[in-house]
Amino acid sequence: MFNMESVRVEYDALGEIEVPNGKLYGAQTARCLKNFPIGDEFERMPFSVIVAMGVLKKAAAEVNVDFGLDLKIASAISKAADDVISGNLYCEHFPLGIWQTGSGTQTNMNVNEVIGNRAIEILGGKLGSKNPVHPNDHVNKGQSSNDTFPTAMHIAVAHELNHSLLPNLKKLKNSLQEKSQKFMSVIKVGRTHTQDAVPLTLGQELSGYVKQLEYGINRIQNTLPRLYELAIGGTAVGTGLNTYVSFDEKCTKKIAELTGLPFVIAPNKFEALAASDTMIEVSGALNVIAASLMKIANDIRFLASGPRCGIGELILPENEPGSSIMPGKVNPTQCEALTMIAAQVMGNNVAVTIGGSNGHFELNVFRPLMVSNVLRSIKLLSDGCYCFALNCVNGMETDKERVAFLLSQSLMLVTALSPHIGYDKAAQIALRAHREKTTLKESAKASGIAESDFNNWVKAEDMLGPTVYKKKSTC
């Protein structure tokens, strides 16, 4: 318990409880801290959720003036909500963790209490008195945790996707696009099954990564319309009990004005409260991006392996020493960080999927789990893409001599012979060259292919795309 001089006594529906003096939260927040001491400060409800709740409460207060809320109280609530939106109150006055009730009720009340007490301060009242501003009657007017928390989830995730992930995904895509264009004439060995294959250019190879990210960007953008649908106005079970006609429409319009994002009323509030399919859809899109980044980062890691005893076709920036024991060693650390991020996002997606599948009757009760994992994935992917573009791709170069040497050693150039001598004979030439450790040309000559024909038929630069068909003359 706190020292009596450092606490005040507040009450909720269950009775009295001590609250630390100087804290803007109240009884229900203090009770939650007592009942859910799970995790440390790193398990706290995400900052962006609290900011989104501040936006929602500000919107509701201003709209509720049309439905009987005293203008003086509404103005104080709106100003207090601005302090929440600014982030200035987050660390000290929003201590609750993710692991609480599955509807987010405690966080909704934490926000109500902080805004209520801050509004009381603004109006010159006594902290914790609930007079003249009550956290439920005024700050939460026309609302329920069951509609405010999913609304805040959508606001927070939509904001982070628009202002964080999408810009950094595009940054990485553009960086890879620039390298793809720069290396479009660098002909190299292709690899399938991790074995030598027919040639392509390094630019063509990188263009595949660019397209993967384009698809990822499109997937994220395709989730936004559903994210813009808000549950506000559904209250407890979706019926809108204790609100007024047009409350939902006006709140949603106000939230759109405050955020600059095109939020609309959820077309079916029963679905909006009972299910969280939109979060699963967003998480699924993030999971696809994670899978793409895992492949891209691993390819770049392997192409840069060496520098002398691996593939060594790419040269990555030397950002930091790679070993505490091996002098001069440099490692593909940005690739390693990005692949770890990808693995974490895949794990987060599993948790979100399980959470979304566990909506029971009129309410999903895994929401803090879902939104925290989705926001964590967004943050990790956003920062990871930014760092990978800045500290790896932008400074990435190719070792043209190494690329040319490896290409000259490839036995799969024999594929160019197939149209002229047939698959079986071409295979025999390649296998003989491999067994006898000779060049492809030497093996072809030993099989009766004229050197001039070999030189005309086997040109890596002619193997980079389909051949224009020329119909034989019948004359």
CATH label of the domain that carries residue 423: 1.10.40.30
What's 373's domain CATH number?
A: 1.20.200.10
The pLDDT value recorded for residue 1 is 37
pLDDT reading at 131 higher than 90: yes
User: Does residue 392 lie in a domain region?
Assistant: yes
Q: Do 389 and 273 have their domain in common?
A: yes
The number of beta carbons lying within 10 Å of the beta carbon of residue 391 is 16
DSSP 304: T
Per-residue pLDDT tens digits for 376-389: 999 999 999 999 99
Stated as kind and residue range, the H or E segment containing 191 is strand 187-192
How far separated are the first and last CA of the chain, in Å rounded? Answer: 104
Report, as an integer, the average pLDDT of 153-168: 98
User: Does residue 325 lie in a domain region?
Assistant: yes
Under 8 Å CB-to-CB from 251, ≥6 apart: which residues? 56, 59, 60, 63, 142, 230, 232, 233
Per-residue pLDDT tens digits for 396-450: 999 999 999 999 999 999 999 999 999 999 999 999 999 999 999 999 999 999 9
Where residue 436 falls (left for φ over 0; alpha for ψ -120 to 50; beta otherwise) is alpha
Under 8 Å CB-to-CB from 124, ≥6 apart: which residues? none
Q: Do 305 and 343 have their domain in common?
A: yes
Rounded to 10 deg, the angle between the 145-160 and 47-64 helix axes is 120
Report, as an integer, the average pLDDT of 461-468: 94
Under 8 Å CB-to-CB from 446, ≥6 apart: which residues? 432, 438
In this prediction, residue 470 has a pLDDT band, given cuts at 50, 70 and 90, of confident
Per-residue pLDDT tens digits for 453-464: 999 999 999 999
The pLDDT value recorded for residue 222 is 98
Active site residue 305: no
Q: Do 359 and 433 have their domain in common?
A: no
User: Does residue 260 lie in a domain region?
Assistant: no
| Buried residues in 79-110 as b, exposed as e (16+ CB within 10 A) | bbbebbbeeebbeebbbbbbebbbbbbbbbbb
Give the residue numbers spanning the domain of 352. 150-187+201-231+268-401
Number of structural domains (the chain) is 3
Q: Do 296 and 397 have their domain in common?
A: yes
Q: Do 288 and 225 have their domain in common?
A: yes
In this prediction, residue 344 has a pLDDT band, given cuts at 50, 70 and 90, of very high
The pLDDT value recorded for residue 5 is 62
Q: Do 183 and 325 have their domain in common?
A: yes
Q: Do 105 and 164 have their domain in common?
A: no
pLDDT reading at 167 higher than 50: yes
Active site residue 323: yes
Average pLDDT, the chain: 96
User: Does residue 295 lie in a domain region?
Assistant: yes
Q: Do 136 and 170 have their domain in common?
A: no
In this prediction, residue 111 has a pLDDT band, given cuts at 50, 70 and 90, of very high
Per-residue pLDDT tens digits for 399-414: 999 999 999 999 999 9
pLDDT reading at 30 higher than 50: yes
User: Does residue 473 lie in a domain region?
Assistant: no
Report, as an integer, the average pLDDT of 149-170: 98
In this prediction, residue 474 has a pLDDT band, given cuts at 50, 70 and 90, of low
pLDDT > 70: percent of the chain: 99
In this prediction, residue 2 has a pLDDT band, given cuts at 50, 70 and 90, of very low
Report, as an integer, the average pLDDT of 268-276: 98
Q: Do 335 and 446 have their domain in common?
A: no
> Residue type at 102?
G
The pLDDT value recorded for residue 475 is 60
Q: Do 164 and 306 have their domain in common?
A: yes
CA separation for the pair 165, 385 (Å, rounded): 8
CA separation for the pair 74, 78 (Å, rounded): 6
* List 86, 185, 246, 323, catalytic entry: 323
User: Does residue 193 lie in a domain region?
Assistant: no
What's 122's domain CATH number?
A: 1.10.275.10
User: Does residue 472 lie in a domain region?
Assistant: no
Per-residue pLDDT tens digits for 75-97: 999 999 999 999 999 999 999 99
Per-residue pLDDT tens digits for 185-233: 999 999 999 999 999 999 999 999 999 999 999 999 999 999 999 999 9
Q: Do 206 and 341 have their domain in common?
A: yes
pTM: 0.96
Report, as an integer, the average pLDDT of 327-350: 97
User: Does residue 278 lie in a domain region?
Assistant: yes
The closest of 128, 103, 125, 81 to 32, measured between CA atoms, is 103
Which of 401, 424, 448 terminates a domain? The answer is 401
In this prediction, residue 472 has a pLDDT band, given cuts at 50, 70 and 90, of confident
Report, as an integer, the average pLDDT of 158-180: 98
Q: Do 163 and 126 have their domain in common?
A: no
pLDDT > 90: percent of the chain: 97
What number of CA atoms fall less than 13 Å from residue 387's CA on the CB side?
18
The rounded radius of gyration (Å) of the Cα atoms in the chain is 31
Which of 401, 419, 435 terminates a domain? The answer is 401
